Structure 1
Amino acid sequence: MVEPLLPRRHPSLRGRPPVHSRRLVIDTISYVLVSGCAWRLVPWTTAYRVFAAWTADGTWGRVHDVLRGRVRARDGRDPRPSAAVLDSQSVKTCEGGERIGYDAGKRVRGRKRHVLVDTLGLLLGVAVSSASARDRPGARRVLTGIRRVFPRLRPVWADGGYVNSKDATLVNRARENEDIEIVAVPRNADVAGFQVLPRRWVVERTFGWLTRCRRLTRDYERKTAHAEAMIQFAMIRLMAARLADEHIEPRGPIETEAARRLAEDTNN
């Protein structure tokens, strides 16, 4: 699924041919992502160099966008989504790096991931900032220019914090510049504990998919561009497995019960 989408070595280039196959390089990056180990615990010289180079030239983003369109088409959807869900996640960092801050609301020192997904939970846009950054500036980064990529996109469901009655700058800019309507899905204050909120549960499930990769349970990257690329690579791995019909068997009581309920809904 991935190999035909990767950049090719130009035939006019001279020098020693690559020692390691691209399949081995992709497997090494995937091993670092899933296991959460350090780069230097694997044959990292080639793998990290390729990962950094393809991050800089946008290869991961291009591969991700192609696979997302294929997954949506296979599910009977238009490759260009018409609705999306917006949310953020604060995660701790390790050692130093760019844009480290403190999220006083979540009591987390690290970075914040601003994520926009479609109604299937597939990634449409991601921006990594300091954890001290507010949600609305991060949302502006994700939404800026989004209609040029997804011209059918109209409603974007989000947390009530994005739609503040005292500061409607984000809502107004999204409506005027991008022709997007941000719709708040508020939390019921009368219910204590965890709630499954309409529409917003989709992006929470995407966060769950990401944190199954141990490299993403924290933010170990020193550069925010590499942190965004790791998120894209995690979704590439997930979508490629779906397109190859490599379904993950449920493990544990929660996954088993969820699979049983999903099967019942499908049969009904």
Structure 2
Amino acid sequence: MCRCVCKPAYESSLTDGQWAVIEPLLPVRDPRRGGRPLRYPRRLVIDTILYVLRTGAAWRHVPHDLVPWDVAYRWFRCWSADGTWDRVHDRLRDAVRVAEGRDPQPSAAVLDSQTAHSHQGGEAIGYDAGKRTRGRKRHVLVDTCGLLLKAVVHSASVQERAGAKLVLAGITKAFPLLGLVWADAGYVNRVDAGLLAWARTHAGVDLQIVARNADVKGFQVLPRRWVVERTFAWLGRCRRLARDYERKPAHAEAMIKVAMIRLMAARLAGEDVEPQGPIETEAARRLDDELNHK
């Protein structure tokens, strides 16, 4: 039987509605205890992981009224290894798309990367000469709603074109209807446009470049490209993702999935947890403009 623990009221904790969405998708047994009943409630385990994700606290610094840090980390690590986070994330993404009147299988997507500082040791740590940053890159592919389709975390020293191949390789096996991917001009140049041909031949998608206006200085909100920028803004509200604190790239990818799981569970529960800032306001305006012109 699970130990009786009063649920703490932290801002990062799941609401009853969010838990009702996530609970049926989670394993009911501890994968490391030979199938024996759980010692701690799964909801409290998830709340502990979300506390680390949302606040940016170290695992060893979680409050004592949550589950012990080593228990929460063990579950996080095991569910990363056995694909639990992937399965829960994908089920929720499909449910959100259906709830918004869309086909579960996307036909178009947006590709981009983000370099994250890392002051920790670990695997695949490199230096991004363009951003002058030591750490890792998060390469993500999102649908036109900003929902995550695939995330690959790799060394910051890997160039954009090579990182794009890691994301797009085999993508049509998971998403057979996907035929169009938008990306920025950093993925091609006048000398080497081989990524476009590679995407058509090996990935089975048409990679289209959304170029910025050279006459405009500073930040620009580009058509289609703002979708993935908004996704990065969603992730950036989780302080654990403000930098890369993970020892393994697989755990960094899992943290991204957990952040999106929380956001999608809130949507399906009818709760609005999306941050309302300048990026989100502009994104909503542009989405309305695109829908009105269809």
Q: Same fold (TM over 0.5)?
A: yes
Map of 2:197 onto structure 1: 172
Q: CA shift at 1:127, angstroms?
A: 0.5
Change in Cα spacing, 1:249 to 1:93, as seen in structure 2 (3 Å) is closer
Map of 2:235 onto structure 1: 210
Deviations 1:158-205 (A, max 9, x none): 011213342233222211122201000011111011100001110000
**SS of residue paired to 2:221:** coil
The correspondence of residues 107-122 of structure 1 with structure 2, limited to 5 A, is 107-122=132-147
Q: CA shift at 1:264, angstroms?
A: 8.6
With normalisation by structure 1, the TM-score equals 0.91
**Residue 244 of structure 2 aligns to which amino acid in structure 1?**
D
The answer on 1:3 being equivalent to 2:23 is yes
Is the contact between residue 163 and residue 182 of structure 1 (CA under 8 Å) also seen in structure 2? no
Alpha-carbon separation, structure 2, partners of 1:145 and 1:3: 30
The answer on 1:77 being equivalent to 2:102 is yes
Alpha-carbon separation, structure 2, partners of 1:249 and 1:133: 31
Correspondence for 1:94 among 119, 139, 142 = 119
Alpha-carbon separation, structure 2, partners of 1:94 and 1:245: 38
Map of 1:24 onto structure 2: 44
Change in Cα spacing, 1:63 to 1:259, as seen in structure 2 (3 Å) is same
Map of 2:168 onto structure 1: 143
**Residue 101 of structure 2 aligns to which amino acid in structure 1?**
G
**Residue 112 of structure 2 aligns to which amino acid in structure 1?**
D
Alpha-carbon separation, structure 2, partners of 1:145 and 1:15: 34
Q: CA shift at 1:155, angstroms?
A: 0.9
Alpha-carbon separation, structure 2, partners of 1:264 and 1:174: 30
What's the RMSD between the two structures over aligned residues? 2.4
**SS of residue paired to 1:88:** strand
Is the contact between residue 182 and residue 208 of structure 2 (CA under 8 Å) also seen in structure 1? yes
Is the contact between residue 181 and residue 208 of structure 2 (CA under 8 Å) also seen in structure 1? yes
Is the contact between residue 263 and residue 274 of structure 2 (CA under 8 Å) also seen in structure 1? no
Q: Percent identity?
A: 65
The correspondence of residues 128-207 of structure 1 with structure 2, limited to 5 A, is 128-207=153-232
Query: How many correspondences in the alignment?
Result: 264
**Residue 84 of structure 1 aligns to which amino acid in structure 2?**
A
Map of 1:37 onto structure 2: 57
Deviations 1:74-128 (A, max 9, x none): 1111000000000000010122111111111111111111010000000001111
Q: CA shift at 1:258, angstroms?
A: 5.6
Map of 2:265 onto structure 1: 240
Alpha-carbon separation, structure 2, partners of 1:107 and 1:198: 27
Deviations 1:18-61 (A, max 9, x none): 22100000010011000000000122111100000000011101
Change in Cα spacing, 1:112 to 1:249, as seen in structure 2 (3 Å) is closer
Alpha-carbon separation, structure 2, partners of 1:91 and 1:245: 32
Gaps of 5+ in 2: 1-20, 63-67
Q: CA shift at 1:260, angstroms?
A: 9.2
Is the contact between residue 227 and residue 283 of structure 2 (CA under 8 Å) also seen in structure 1? no
**Residue 212 of structure 2 aligns to which amino acid in structure 1?**
R
